[in-house]
Structure 1
Amino acid sequence: MPKFLHTADWQMGRAFSRFETEDGAALVEARFEAIEKLARLANEHQCDAVLVAGDVFDAQTVADRTIRRVFNATREFTGPWVMLPGNHDAALAESVWTRAKRLGAVPDNVHLALEPGVINLKPQGLAILCAPLTQRNTYSDLTETFNTLETPESLIRVGLAHGSVQGVLPEDIDSTNPILPNRAETARLDYLALGDWHGTKQIDERTWYSGTPEPERFRNNGAGYALVVNVPKPGALPKVTPLETARYQWHQWREILTVESDLDQLLDRLQALPELSVVDLRLEGSITLAGEEKLINALSVAEARFRSIQCDRSGLQLEPTDDDIAALKADGYVGEVIEHLRIQQQDEDAEAARDALAILAGLLKDRKQEASE
């Protein structure tokens, strides 16, 4: 009863330059920890092998240290690993894979599927039909060769490929590296393990994308999992069990604030997120000066609590209420300036007017506090 772990799209060597240096480094480290977790899960679930369906590396030019660390992270699971080149780490004549071999970094139990064909893992009861990418983009279905590849009848027949199942994925449909939707059927596969789509997704009862084990972008597509696949015997339907692997949760929210309760609901949702979160906010609409102060305080708390939070408030207009202006004692000329800046938020220099209004409100508040001391 062969059982294996299906994973893909590790994207090792990926940089997170949009984040603060400390946060980017933590996100990079989480990807190495994900490999170590995969090895532990393979042991815990008594898997016979680990199959990696492409894009182990994010680029051909990753550092030698990254290459060595990737293979070091696999050591806890001593069974066979089969690694397939994807579009980011295609099996070129000179590639990250040839460099890994020159470095002597590849352990004996790691099989690199650098050429099309079959890797027979007879002790594990598995025959792995491999369709590696030998260039970044192809326009023919490399899995078509699976139809003619012969494997021992006693072994579970598993396809391993990286590309886009045509007409099924919600985006990038009919992209390069196409894969026939019913390839498992035409090639008599017990299971087809796919990579390239970064979320866990079932195509049919024998075909799955595992997704990336550690999210690396803001897409609500079920990233952060690996799949344990159990095939009782050749021809039997596989039992597929998703296992959570992610350290960090990524959340991207686009919110329009119109009334005070909108802000309160947003802050409640933010408070409910786990500490190991990466959050990207873009706020639009309008907010009072009191609401702006509440928002700034909440974001300050969140910065210390989450792994990362970024908030774009350029589309959020400040709309001082009569109570706001009265609290600031902004009468006379100062009140006129506040009203002028409020109106200017409708023009091309909206962001500058918004910032000026916020600064002026802050100065008035500081002056009021000093006067009361």
Structure 2
Amino acid sequence: MTSVTFIHSADWQLGMTRKYLSDEAQARYTGARVDTIRTIGELAHSEGAQFIVVAGDVFEHANLSTRDVVRAYEAMAETRLPIYLLPGNHDPLGPGSIWSGEAHSSRPDNVTILDHEGPFDVSPSVEIVACPWYTKHPGHDPVTGILASLKPTDKTRILVAHGMLDVLDPDKQSETLVDTAALRGAVRDGLVDYVALGDRHICWTDPETGAINYSGTHESTGPREKSRGTALAVTLDGSTVTTTRHEIGRWLHVDIHRHVSSMEDIALLESDFASITHKDCAIVRTVLTGTLSMAAAAALDRLLEAQTHVFASVYKWERHTDLVVVPDDADESLLGLSGFAAEAMAELRELAQQGDKTASDALLLLYRLGATS
């Protein structure tokens, strides 16, 4: 069996949009998802890879513009290596498929669509067995059904597929979960040498075989992904499988969790922001809890406003944010309210202490107006 090296990638989801990005940041995010294809090509050449496989969800949906598709293909052409693209649940084959659109007439010669189940010859000694999706909801295990049709071969055989392994979500009841035991059996029996998976946005290696793996996304798609985008360089040499994880993406989603109840806590939050690198490509979701004086709440607002000019996006996770503004003696002294205004503030303070968000917001507005008058 001939040694072979290739790049395993997945879940490019080209054309993806995110509601928490401004138009300017969205344009950069969209461009990066295409440009990182070139980075994958550079990685492939540096690793001596013969080809690249993308294990599903190449495109975000079927309604992308011709420009999005053509630019993606141009980036693929620039890799100067064979690329094999698998349709997944975001871009399945079938009626109305993105793969049948006119834009795909621009597909370069180095790109092959894995558009049917079964083997594709990569070279005389290497074959890919593809498991494309034909619908978003197949209603069955989308991977292991093909194993029964495979015969032993002297070729290096790479199964390229898309779906969630049952061992990664054992409590989920779904007909589309992939039978991990069946794949492990196929590897142990020598029926397949490597299983390149997509769908889970994680870089994960099967602890039992080392040959059934997820590469992760090439650019981060959401807060559950705790690193910038990744790809795997894979070398198959006889029964030996060697994989190397490479961080290739620019964009990062970050969650910041902090309890804030004082100016000192706000200073710590500022340090959290400062510790993040490449801020123009970082998307920060905050989870803040606590009870703040009006002065501290105003300082927090100023800090968050300043960060929006530095980061690609800063937004709060609404359902996990629990901040209450309650005036302290220093606040009341600064405002110097009397009469009706003092009574209104006392009423708002009581409501805020009971968790009334509208009252907290009103107190903060009152502080801002009073502190600047």
TM-score by length of 1: 0.89
Shift of 1:228: 0.5
CA contact (8 A) 1:184 1:190 kept: no
| Cα separation, partners in 2 of 1:221 and 1:277, compared to 1, 3 Å | closer
Which residue does the alignment assign to 2:146? 145
The CA distance in 2 between the partners of 1:265 and 1:291, in whole Å, is 13
- Give the Å deviation of 1:215: 0.8
User: What is the one-letter code of the residue matched to 1:228?
Assistant: A
Question: Does structure 2 conserve the Cα–Cα contact (< 8 Å) formed by 1:162 and 1:177?
Answer: no
Amino acid at match of 2:27: A
| Residue aligned with 1:305, SS | coil
Q: Which blocks of at least 5 consecutive residues in structure 1 are unaligned?
A: 368-373
For 1:331-346, list aligned pairs within 5 A. 331-346=338-353
CA RMSD of aligned residues (A): 2.2
Name the SS of the counterpart of 2:167 in structure 1. coil
Q: Whole-Å Cα distance in 1 between the matches of residues 87 and 119 of structure 2?
A: 15
Matching of residue 25 in structure 1 with residue 27 in structure 2:
yes
Distance 1:220 1:211 in 2: 9
Decide whether aligned partners of structure 1 residues 36 and 139 sit closer, same or farther in structure 2, where only a CA change above 3 A counts: same
* Residue 214 (1) aligns with residue 214 (2): no
Alignment match of 2:202 (pick from 177, 199, 203): 199
Structure 2: 5+ residue stretches without partners: none
Aligned-pair identity in percent equals: 27
Q: How many Å separate the matches in 1 of 2:168 and 2:315?
A: 33
How many pairs were matched up? 360
- Residues 6 and 226 of structure 1 are in contact (CA less than 8 Å); yes or no, is this contact kept in structure 2? yes
Which AA in structure 1 matches 2:52?
V
> TM-score, with normalisation over the residues of structure 2?
0.89
Contact 1:248–1:277, Cα closer than 8 Å, also in 2: yes
Measured against aligned partners, the alpha-carbon deviations of 1:304-329 in whole angstroms (never above 9, x if no partner) come to 11111113687311122112222333
Please give the alpha-carbon distance, in whole angstroms, between the structure 1 residues aligned to 2:163 and 2:235: 23
- The equivalent residue for 1:132 is 132
Contact 2:262-2:296 within 8 A present in 1 as well? no
Q: 1:370 is matched with which residue?
A: none
1:339–1:271 distance in 2 versus 1, CA, 3 Å: farther
CA contact (8 A) 2:77 2:110 kept: no
- 1:270 Cα offset (Å): 1.5
Partners in 1 of 2:299 and 2:39 — Cα distance? Answer: 40
Q: Which secondary structure state, in structure 2, belongs to the residue aligned with residue 177 of structure 1?
A: coil
Deviations 1:170-228 (A, max 9, x none): 78x34353211134333232111000001212233111111111111111455610110
1:39 Cα offset (Å) = 1.6
Q: Say whether the 8 Å CA contact 1:8–1:212 is kept in structure 2.
A: yes
1:232 aligns with one of 205, 214, 237 = 237
1:248-286 Cα shifts (integer Å, max 9, x gaps): 110123433345443332221122112131011132321
